[in-house]
Amino acid sequence: MDIKTETLEQFYERTRQHIPKEMQNNIGGAHFNVKRRCTVNRVAPYNRRDYYKICLVTGKGVHLSNNKETLIEKPAILFSNPSTPSSYQALDEGQGGFYCLFNDAFFSSGLKNEIKYESPLFNDSLQSVFILNDDDLIRFSRYFTDMEELLEGTYKFKYDMIRNVLQTLIHEGIKLQQPGQIKSINPADRLSSRFFSLLDQQFPVDSPSNPLQLTMPSAYAERLNVHVNYLNNLVKRTTGKTTSAIIHERIIAEAKILLLNTNWDAAEIAYCLGFDYPSHFNKYFKQYASTTPLLFRETLKMASN
């Protein structure tokens, strides 16, 4: 069975929603959204995603994850790990609740790795669906309405506040885990955790004089004392993405952040991201962002005016 990976753009197209303006401008590569669920009479496709999703579900339905079906007949909270194939089928028209979705660029450094490992949002070996009692439903609904109000507001630090609510929501999910469910980390999980920890340590880039040290899978494999093929196979198995793709995503996301938030010229950004020549950076950026760095920056300036 060929399991595809759905992008954020494909999600909005599939659900017939307008792609948010800030996403069209691709500001910083970061994205967050929160919506209310409505009547759903179709089956969401069984696939992986390149984004995280948390759903507060009311109404009857069936959640399929890793070929395991869970019948939902009472209010529930669902945590969707991007690397885990999943889908949802509504069984009645009384669908309600909320969902929020966000990508790595929005929440890349929001939690410690040891906390992530205990959350089903980041650890696909954990239970990801939880039935809620009345008090739980009220509390979780409040988190979503808080994020909804913040997103619609004009406070200039609203996304920082949303990240704080998201962190609380993730911690609440950890608290719902059954005692003893967190398993000891096997060697493969430990290596995967070390890879992402090492990747996180490279960012953010805070100075042109402090360039990235690790930009290739082979460099990470050498630092982790494993063969690059072993690392590639492990990362692909646990995330659905290649090591190169994950590294490229972080570099492009950082490039966009630097273009948006600094006055560094393209040559300085190219150097600090590990490129020997600005022309190499321009070609690389255009390959993954479908535009040049300078045109990307100019587009952002025009959008903000």
pLDDT at res. 2: 63
151 and 262 inside one domain = no
Domain annotation covers residue 299? yes
Bond before 75 cis per omega within 30 degrees: no
218 and 118 inside one domain = no
Count of other CB atoms within 10 angstroms of residue 120 = 26
Tokens of 175: 């608290």
Tokens of 254: 């950082």
Domain annotation covers residue 181? no
- The structure's pTM equals 0.67
Q: Which residues pair with 277 in a beta bridge?
A: none
209 and 239 inside one domain = yes
Question: For residue 243, which of 221, 226, 224, 274 has the smallest C-alpha distance?
Answer: 221
Q: How many domains, the chain?
A: 2
202 and 277 inside one domain = yes
120 and 228 inside one domain = no
Q: Which residues pair with 193 in a beta bridge?
A: none
122 and 32 inside one domain = yes
pLDDT at res. 154: 92
State how beta strands 61-65 and 68-72 pair.
antiparallel
Domain annotation covers residue 46? yes
Domain annotation covers residue 182? no
204 and 145 inside one domain = no
CA distance 136 to 75: 9
CATH number of the domain that residue 241 is part of: 1.10.10.60
Four-residue CA torsion sign, 192, 194, 198, 200: positive
100 and 201 inside one domain = no
CB 34, CB 147: distance < 8 Å: yes
pLDDT at res. 182: 44
Domain annotation covers residue 284? yes
CA distance 90 to 43: 7
Domain annotation covers residue 283? yes
Question: For residue 102, which of 84, 85, 121 has the smallest C-alpha distance?
Answer: 121
Q: What is the span of the domain harbouring residue 63?
A: 5-175
Of 112, 144, 175, the last residue of a domain is 175
CATH number of the domain that residue 13 is part of: 2.60.120.10
280 and 225 inside one domain = yes
pLDDT at res. 44: 82
167 and 197 inside one domain = no
| Length of the chain, in residues | 305
pLDDT at res. 114: 73
Chunk the chain into consecutive blocks of 10 residues (it has 305) and report each block's average pLDDT, rounded to whole numbers: 79 87 68 85 80 93 86 94 86 90 80 79 85 95 97 92 95 82 57 83 85 93 93 83 89 89 91 93 91 87 65
Domain annotation covers residue 180? no
pLDDT at res. 110: 67
20 and 136 inside one domain = yes
